Structure 1
Amino acid sequence: MQLIDVNKARYRKHLNRVIWGCIAGLAIGSLGISQILIALFPDESGRHFHWNLLGVLVTSVTIGYVLSQYRSHEFMREVTYVWELKQALNKINRKLVKLKQAASQGNVDAMLALQYSYAGSRLLWKLDDNTIVMEELAVEQAKLDGLMAQYQVALNIEDYNEQVLKSF
Structure 2
Amino acid sequence: MKLKEIDKGRYRRHLNKVFIGSALALAVLSLGIAQLLIAFFPNAAGSHFHWNLLGVVFGALLVGAGLSRLRQHPFMTEVVYVWELKQRLNKIARKRRKVEAAAEQGNETAMQVLQFCYAGSRQLWQLDDNTIVMDELTVKQTELNNLANTHGVILDAGVYDENMLKQF
TM-score range, shorter chain: over 0.9
The AA in structure 2 aligned to 1:125 is W
Once the two structures are TM-superposed, the CA of residue 102 in structure 1 deviates from its matched residue by 0.6
Partner of 1:164, secondary structure, is helix
Partner of 1:3, secondary structure, is coil
- Aligned mates of 1:30, 1:36 — CA distance in 2: 10
Listed as ranges, the gaps of 5+ residues in structure 1 are none
Partner of 2:62: 62
- Aligned mates of 2:127, 2:115 — CA distance in 1: 19
Q: How many residues align?
A: 168
Cα deviations across residues 16-73 of structure 1 (Å, max 9, x unaligned)?
0111011101111111111111122111000001110111111100001010001010
- Aligned mates of 1:163, 1:40 — CA distance in 2: 51
Once the two structures are TM-superposed, the CA of residue 6 in structure 1 deviates from its matched residue by 1.0
Partner of 1:44, secondary structure, is coil
- Pair 1:162-2:155 in alignment: no
The 5 A counterparts of 1:43-82 are 43-82=43-82
> What's the % identity of the aligned pairs?
55
- Pair 1:113-2:113 in alignment: yes
Partner of 1:19: 19
- Aligned mates of 1:167, 1:61 — CA distance in 2: 35
Partner of 1:106, secondary structure, is coil
Range 29-38 or range 131-140, more displaced: 29-38
Question: What RMSD over aligned residues (CA atoms) do the two structures have, in Å?
Answer: 0.7
Regions of 4+ moved over 2 Å:
none
The AA in structure 1 aligned to 2:24 is A
Partner of 1:72, secondary structure, is coil
- Aligned mates of 2:157, 2:128 — CA distance in 1: 22
Cα deviations across residues 100-153 of structure 1 (Å, max 9, x unaligned)?
111111000000000000000000000000010001100100110110111111
The 5 A counterparts of 1:76-115 are 76-115=76-115
- Aligned mates of 2:106, 2:37 — CA distance in 1: 63
TM-score, length-normalised on structure 1? 0.98
Partner of 2:36: 36
The AA in structure 2 aligned to 1:59 is G
Listed as ranges, the gaps of 5+ residues in structure 2 are none
